[in-house]
Amino acid sequence: MFRSVTVSQSPSIEPTIVPRDEHVISRSHISERALTVLYRLKNAGYGAYLVGGGVRDLSLGREPKDFDVATDATPDEVKALFRNCRLIGRRFRLAHVHWGPEIIEVATFRALHPPEAEDDGDRVLEDGMILRDNVYGTIEEDALRRDFTINALYYDIATFSVVDYAGGMADLKAGRLRLIGDPEVRYREDPVRMLRAVRFAAKLGFVIDEATAQPIPRMADSLDDIPPARLFDEVLKLLMAGQGVETFESLRQHGLFRYLFPATDTALDDDEHGQFITFLARALESTDQRVNADRPVTPAFLFAALLWPAILAQLPRGKMVSGIDRELFEQSITEALERQLRQVAIPKRFGLPMREIWAMQPRFDTRSEKKATRLFSHPRFRAAYDFLLLRAEAGLADRDLAEWWRAFTTESADAPPPTPARRRRRGGRRRGGGSPAPERAGSD
């Protein structure tokens, strides 16, 4: 059993209470299922608050991706109220309340611990990094242990007011992203917070507070301590949310990109003519356009683009020429992937189609209609074809050859059609996750 702990050393802070008539949050904009969770907790005598990104986005007039709830009820007490509840997580124990594909995440208030506090089984640290934290506390402590001030806002279902312990409402109005507490300590606790700072700033169009931004370049190497699988998930959030271009530029500016894509970052630094930067910018632009138009995307295509400069950098003269030696090309792919996978894991369901996109590129080196028609039957044709066009736009492939393929594909009745648009569902967590989706993405 996890226990509830209040840390007596933590200072008492008087929160700012924003009454209903002074904020824009309306229950009509909150998921019906989230309201059910909030009211059931309240009626059972527990504190119940909408918290985090849901409050932030509603305050900015945005549609939240999901709704999270915070409470003084323990996970076991939440489970007792909802038959459709599952307890998950070892690092952070959480309650997930399921309604079909929609999931409302319920978290118990967590306690503050001073940096010198010893590990006790419920809270485990290693070199300042939080590995597990299941010590429960008060709403005040819970607010102050969150990462950014704008994510530490609580909508109280009992009074319809917003409770603000960290100055988040003022930062929302100022368009400022600010960490709670000492930035170096907070980044040491979880280095992924540096990536989150870049992501939120790009997503919201905010400026990162100077004190929050200043330690990032010198602490960026702490990302080496993060499991590659977790970094894969973070890359999807960073670059497949509709602000990929701005996020990429900020990752480079703050010295973070090299710890996600080291070989690509080196290739970009050595690129005298800027073709690799142009290529990645075009790939991210089309990804952003596709995401923002609710068109499907696949990480396979985006990762194929992100690693392409690393592959080319290992080839003679740093480019793929007509009639390239296939064995040399495959060796460059293998070496680039081996280095990348030490940093960011790429699941096989994306890694295999990514390699197919690359492997098809030399096969476009033809203007034979017979050979071209045979390529149409390849399940990865559309993605590989879009990749060819992207290379040509950046000057990394013969533009005349790409134009021939564009004309032939457009005119041929045998060419596979572009992937149709699909509507992305919103309103709550979806079972199994699912990554948002780039133009040029092809099909899975």
Which tokens hold the place of 52?
Answer: 């985090």
The pLDDT of 379-389, averaged and rounded, is: 95
The pLDDT of 102-108, averaged and rounded, is: 96
pLDDT value of position 116: 52
Q: What is the pLDDT of residues 228-239, one digit of tens each?
A: 999 999 999 999
Q: Do the beta carbons of residue 65 and residue 102 sit within 8 Å?
A: no
User: In this structure, are 224 and 360 located in the same domain?
Assistant: no
Q: What is the pLDDT of residues 191-200, one digit of tens each?
A: 999 999 999 9
Residue 122 lies in a domain: no
Say yes or no to pLDDT of 405 above 80.
Answer: yes
Q: Do the beta carbons of residue 167 and residue 188 sit within 8 Å?
A: no
Residue 338 lies in a domain: yes
The pLDDT of 148-157, averaged and rounded, is: 98
Output the DSSP codes for 83-129: TTEEEE-SSS-EEEEEETTEEEEEEE-B----TTPPP-SSEEEETTE
User: In this structure, are 246 and 268 located in the same domain?
Assistant: no
User: In this structure, are 162 and 245 located in the same domain?
Assistant: no
Which domain covers residue 364, as residue numbers? 261-413
User: In this structure, are 381 and 298 located in the same domain?
Assistant: yes
pLDDT value of position 11: 54
CATH number assigned to the domain comprising residue 190: 1.10.110.30
Task: Pick the closest to residue 3 from 135, 145, 140 (CA basis).
Answer: 135
Q: What is the pLDDT of residues 53-95, one digit of tens each?
A: 999 999 999 999 899 999 999 999 999 999 999 999 876 789 9
User: In this structure, are 158 and 18 located in the same domain?
Assistant: yes
Give dist(CA 361, CA 405) in Å, integer: 12
Residue 124 lies in a domain: no
CATH number assigned to the domain comprising residue 363: 1.10.3090.10
pLDDT value of position 134: 66
Residue 227 lies in a domain: yes
User: In this structure, are 160 and 242 located in the same domain?
Assistant: no
Residue 194 lies in a domain: yes
Give dist(CA 278, CA 55) in Å, integer: 37
CATH number assigned to the domain comprising residue 41: 3.30.460.10
**b/e 192-222 (16+ beta carbons within 10 angstroms → b):** bbbbbbbbbbbbbebebbeebbebbeebbeb
Residues taking part in catalysis: 66, 68, 147
pLDDT value of position 12: 72
User: In this structure, are 78 and 153 located in the same domain?
Assistant: yes
Total domain count, the chain: 3
pLDDT value of position 429: 58
User: In this structure, are 280 and 313 located in the same domain?
Assistant: yes
Give dist(CA 341, CA 328) in Å, integer: 20
Output the DSSP codes for 163-175: EESSSHHHHHHHT
User: In this structure, are 272 and 402 located in the same domain?
Assistant: yes
Task: Pick the closest to residue 113 from 221, 21, 14, 5 (CA basis).
Answer: 5
Prediction pTM value: 0.85
Q: What is the pLDDT of residues 202-220, one digit of tens each?
A: 999 999 999 999 999 999 9
Output the DSSP codes for 44-69: TT--EEEETHHHHHHHTTPPPS--EE
Residue 235 lies in a domain: yes
Residue 436 lies in a domain: no
The pLDDT of 269-296, averaged and rounded, is: 93
Residue 440 lies in a domain: no
Domain boundary among 239, 256, 273: 256
The pLDDT of 168-190, averaged and rounded, is: 96
Domain boundary among 231, 256, 281: 256
User: In this structure, are 365 and 308 located in the same domain?
Assistant: yes
The pLDDT of 12-35, averaged and rounded, is: 94
Q: Do the beta carbons of residue 444 and residue 438 sit within 8 Å?
A: no
What's the mean pLDDT when you consider all of the chain? Answer: 88
Say yes or no to pLDDT of 121 above 80.
Answer: no
Say yes or no to pLDDT of 444 above 70.
Answer: no
Give dist(CA 392, CA 400) in Å, integer: 9
User: In this structure, are 337 and 399 located in the same domain?
Assistant: yes
User: In this structure, are 201 and 269 located in the same domain?
Assistant: no
